[in-house]
Structures are given as structure tokens and as C-alpha cells.
Structure 1
Amino acid sequence: MSKLFEGIRLKPIFIILIGTLVFAFGIIHFNLENGLAHGGFTGITLLLYYLFTIEPSLSNLLLNIPLFLIGYKLFGRLMLIYSLIGTFSLSVSLRLFELYPVTHLPLQDDMILVSVFAGVFAGTGLGMILRAGGTTGGVDILARLAEKYFGMSLGKFMFGFDAFVITISLIQITLTNAMYTLITVFIASRVIDFIIEGASAAKSTMIISSKTEELSKAIIERMSRGSTVLTGRGSFTADEREILYCVVNRSELIQLKNLIHEVDPYAFFSINDVKEVSGEGFTFDNKRRPLKPS
């Protein structure tokens, strides 16, 4: 029994529980109350409710049970446990809001607002669950398979599957509501990618300069940032030259550009997006782990 729960941590479980509450709140208070569909297995549960009044909390469990075995084969014991927690927690959260809705929001006259908030709640909840290493079953497992073997982002795969389910939902919902639902799932997919990729988005800079040492020293002293010196060769001159690689927060980008122009106005540099960054100077406490000169 101890081996079964080996490696299970409380923090991911807590995040999954909060994520399912956020997701369920959005589904009940925005999608269900305003006649919107949804994507994935959640969209199927809503369609079953519209057609046969089967509560989403029940159909969510019934639809996901066959996928647990697939999830185990694909991702192993830990993810299976987190998926079980996510799926059961989602059904409990849905049932909770079905029985005790927090509030009634009369927004039928502003479906754009409904679509936006439905997408934000769904994306935030699912993003938290996925980032914690869990799923709510269903399309989440299929999305992780697509990411693992085909390199597709979780959000893009979910958007494609969602569009398919929404098309089927046209047998019950109006075309107008289907179009509003597409707005919802698109926003949700963007929010999911943002949460999974992290809010610590940064910028990486490749600097080619004849004053690499001066630039590196200035970056350390004036920005408290480290850098790495790489060796390259010019394609036209075939000369060996040094390339400085540096990662900074978005808010520090202007300061870095000004510093480069100040030290070497003739430096060539390129700037690229970094969707997630971890390590010294970003996720470590600088007071306890001071930067070391490169």
C-alpha cells in the first residue's frame, strides 16, 4: 500500500482541488445557465444534460472510467492517481454547484461577457490541474498524448477537439450559441497555454560584440544578471568571435538594450521570447543564492 502512494505530494493535490472548483464554477454559472456548450468530455456531459437531463456530475464519471486504463498505460501510476483525484473532484465540485449555486448571474443579454468569463474560468481551472500534473480525464489524457508524441500544445489540441464536440452540439443548441461557445473554448485554450508555460515569461538575447567582456561585466554589476559566453564563427569573414547569451525579465529588456548601446553601439543582437525560465536569478532567492559571475 505504501508503494502505491509513494511520490504523491500534497501541493499538486491541493492545486488540482482548487482547479476543479474554478472549472466547475464556470461550467455551472456561465455555460449551463446560459445555454452554452463546451468542448471535450465536459461538452459531451452538457449535451447529455440538455438532451436527457443527466446531471454533468454523474455523466462525467461514467464517461471517464474507461479512460483510466489508457491513462495508466500512457503516464504511469502517479498521473493515474492525480487523474483519479481530478476526475472525482470535478464531479464533486459540479455536484456542489448544482445543488448550491453561489449566485445567479443574469447575463443572457450580454453573451460576449458570458463567453469571455466562461473561457477564463475553464482555462484557469484546467490550466491549474494540468500544471499540477493531473487531468480531469477525457480529452486531457488525449491532449497529453498528442503533446508527448506529436509536439502539439495542450491548448491547441483541446481547441480542435472542442470544435468537433461543439459541432455535434448543434443538434441541441442554436448556431449563435455555438459561435459564442467557440469564443469560450478559444479563450480557454489561450489561458491554459499561458498557465502551463508559466507567468515567468522572459526574453533571451544573443549579443555579438567585440566588447563581450565589458558587456558581461556591466550586465552583472548594473542588472544583477548572469550571462554565458559562446564561441562562434562569422560566415563572411570566417573569424572566431564571442557571443553573449543573456536571459532577462520583460521589464528589464529596455535596460539591457540601453546598456548594449552604451557599451558597444555597433553590437549586433537579437531578442527572442522565452516562455518559461527557471534557475538562478529567476526562481531562486537571490538573497540566499547570490549570482555568481559567469
Structure 2
Amino acid sequence: MKIRKKLRKTNFEKRKLSWNPKITMQTLINFVTIIVGSFLFAIGVNSFMIAGNLGEGGFIGISIILYYAFGISTAASNLVLNFFILIVGFKFLGKRSMYYTILTIPMTSLMLWITEDWQVQSGEILVNTVFGGLFIGLGIGLIIRIGATTAGTTILARMANKFLDVNVSYALLFFDVIIVTIGVLTVLTLEQGLLTIIALYVATKVMDFIIEGMNPKKAITIISEKPEVLGKMINTEIRRGVTIMDGRGFYSKRDKDILYVVINKSQLTRLKRLIKRYDENAFVVVHDVNSVLGNYFI
């Protein structure tokens, strides 16, 4: 009887468990992007790098070394190595990145298995080098662009950044060079190692292009005696909004208006020419911009 009374008093409407995962169109696009990126990555590894007896950086580089030395499938070794490092360093990834990475690891291994026999035999090793780097850069770039990672040395680089205060990019380069060096000392010739470094460079450039987009941005800081004239010119002729900041010269102690504007890279030459026309004594600083967020920039 006591149990029944307690049950009647319980407000079950307030105790409903809310587990309602929302799969949006963007989530589906991200899943498709991971599949396409993994496929392109596998093409680069199997069809060009392995076909040309070349190595690679990251954990896939270790997988290729194991394949050359012992005939172990790159799909299997890539899966084991990446899941191991994911368990060790999972706390260095954000929640969203973690979910996508858990999907990416088996997907890349699956694609490596599917394309295992897809090899492009070329009489020119540079074809394998350039196109291997191209496809790998495209694949990894697409995966990173949607917020996922390929685990491996990416997690190691983040760990190095946290504990040793090392830049993530330098840490990644450091680990890739170590893996290529191990390859040269074991299964690769010096020439193959050097060609692998060229492929890594191509992959990095392609990756940056995919991640930053086809139209990178530039931030411009302008110190001028004619801020109103230049601001109006940028609004009307470049068609960009300008921010005016207060500044003060250290030596002169004079107050100055500082203009700040973000533009497309294609507009940079024209902006420089217009600034020179309206105020040739203006001090202009151009900054690289990795990404621009907000509704005021198209």
C-alpha cells in the first residue's frame, strides 16, 4: 500500500528521460564527407604511395612500414594503431571531434581494405609522389574540415602541445619526419624517403587549401592621417565594412584612428593600389586569416 501511495504522488511527467538525438542534414553531409575523404585518402595510399614503393607520415606511415617488412595489411594495422592512440589520448579531443573520429578510424581502414589492390603502375615515380600527396591531402583535408581527425599523430601533437608547449604544426612535422626516418632505416631507400617528404609537402599544401577554402581572407590594419577618406573608399569601392579603433603614438603621444578590415585575398592588390592613391604615406599591415565567422562577411 505504501508503495502505491508513493507511486501516485510521483510526478512522472517531470521525470521523463530525454534521449532524442537529432540527426540534421549537416550531420548527414558530414558523414558523407568522412566517407569521401576516407576513400580519397585510401586511393592516395594504395594506388600511388604503395604502388610507387613510397612511405608516408603519421600512423599510416607505420602501417606502410609494417606492410613492406612483414606483409601486414595496412587496413588492419591502421585500425589497431589508431584505436590504441585514441584510447590513450581521447581527452585531448572535443566531444564532437571524438564522435567523428570514432567513425573516421574504421572508415579509413575499410577504404584501405577495399582499395588494397588498386595500384597505378607508372614509369615515372614523380607521378606517384605528386598524386599520392594530392589524394592524401584531399582526403585528410575534407575530414579535418568537418571537425574530425584521423587520430594517430594528431593526438600525439596535441599531447605535445599540452605538456611541452610545442606548436601543433611543428609537432606533427616532427612526428612525420621521425616516421619517414624509421622507414629509411628499415625498408625504404634514401631516394624513396626524400620522395616521401615531397609527397608530404604536397599533401600539406593541398590540405591547407581544402581547410582554408578556395578564397582565403586577409586582415588589413591601416594607420593613416586620412582615416575618414580611406574608410569611405573601402566602403564604396571595395564594399567591405571597416572598424575604427582608437590608437595613440608612443613617441608623438598623438591620438590616431586605426582602420581594420577583412577582405578576400583577390581584393588585396586593388585595396593596396587605392590606399596608395588616397594616402601614399599610410602605414599598412597585412595579416593572414585562417577563418572568418559571423553573418557580416560573405
Q: Report the TM-score range of the alignment, normalised by the length of the smaller protein.
A: 0.7 to 0.9
Contact 1:219 1:225 in 2 (8 A): yes
Aligned to 1:178: 193
Deviation at 1:3, TM superposition (A): 5.3
Q: 1:273 aligns to what SS in structure 2? A: strand
Q: 2:262 aligns to what SS in structure 1? A: strand
Give aligned pairs, total.
Answer: 278
Contact 1:201 1:277 in 2 (8 A): no
Q: Say yes or no: does 1:20 pair with 2:38.
A: yes
Letter of the structure 2 residue corresponding to residue 128 of structure 1: L
Contact 1:159 1:185 in 2 (8 A): no
Q: Say yes or no: does 1:245 pair with 2:263.
A: no
Deviation at 1:94, TM superposition (A): 0.7
Contact 2:240 2:263 in 1 (8 A): yes
CA distance in 2, matches of 1:130, 1:186: 17
| TM-score between the two structures when normalised by the length of structure 2 | 0.83
Contact 1:159 1:189 in 2 (8 A): no
Q: 2:173 aligns to what SS in structure 1? A: helix
- Counterparts in 2 of 1:200 and 1:275: CA distance versus 1, 3 Å: farther
Q: 2:285 aligns to what SS in structure 1? A: strand
Contact 2:56 2:200 in 1 (8 A): yes
Per mean C-alpha deviation after superposition, the further-off stretch among 73-82 and 173-182 is: 73-82
Gapped regions of structure 1 (runs ≥ 5) = 284-294
Structure 1 counterpart of 2:144, from 101, 125, 130? 130
Deviation at 1:252, TM superposition (A): 1.2
CA distance in 2, matches of 1:262, 1:179: 48
Letter of the structure 2 residue corresponding to residue 267 of structure 1: A
Aligned to 2:53: 35
Q: Say yes or no: does 1:167 pair with 2:185.
A: no
Show CA shifts across 1:56-104 (max 9, x none).
11111122222232343222543222111111000110111115x2xx5
- Counterparts in 2 of 1:216 and 1:77: CA distance versus 1, 3 Å: closer
Query: How well do the aligned residues superpose, as a CA RMSD in angstroms?
Result: 2.5
Show CA shifts across 1:240-287 (max 9, x none).
11111122112212221232233333333232322333334533xxxx
- Counterparts in 2 of 1:2 and 1:28: CA distance versus 1, 3 Å: farther
Aligned to 2:85: 67
Letter of the structure 1 residue corresponding to residue 193 of structure 2: A
Deviation at 1:158, TM superposition (A): 2.7
Aligned to 1:229: 244
CA distance in 1, matches of 2:162, 2:54: 31
Letter of the structure 2 residue corresponding to residue 224 of structure 1: R
Letter of the structure 2 residue corresponding to residue 58 of structure 1: A
Q: 1:66 aligns to what SS in structure 2? A: helix
Letter of the structure 1 residue corresponding to residue 206 of structure 2: V
- Counterparts in 2 of 1:77 and 1:3: CA distance versus 1, 3 Å: farther
Q: 1:142 aligns to what SS in structure 2? A: helix
CA distance in 2, matches of 1:147, 1:68: 16
Structure 2 counterpart of 1:201, from 216, 229, 232? 216
- Counterparts in 2 of 1:129 and 1:2: CA distance versus 1, 3 Å: farther
Deviation at 1:30, TM superposition (A): 0.7
Map 1:252-271; keep pairs closer than 5 Å: 252-271=267-286
Map 1:45-194; keep pairs closer than 5 Å: 45-99=63-117, 101=118, 104-107=119-122, 109-146=123-160, 150=165, 152-154=167-169, 156-170=170-184, 171-194=186-209
Name the % identity: 36
- Counterparts in 2 of 1:248 and 1:125: CA distance versus 1, 3 Å: same
Larger Rg: 2
- Counterparts in 2 of 1:172 and 1:3: CA distance versus 1, 3 Å: farther
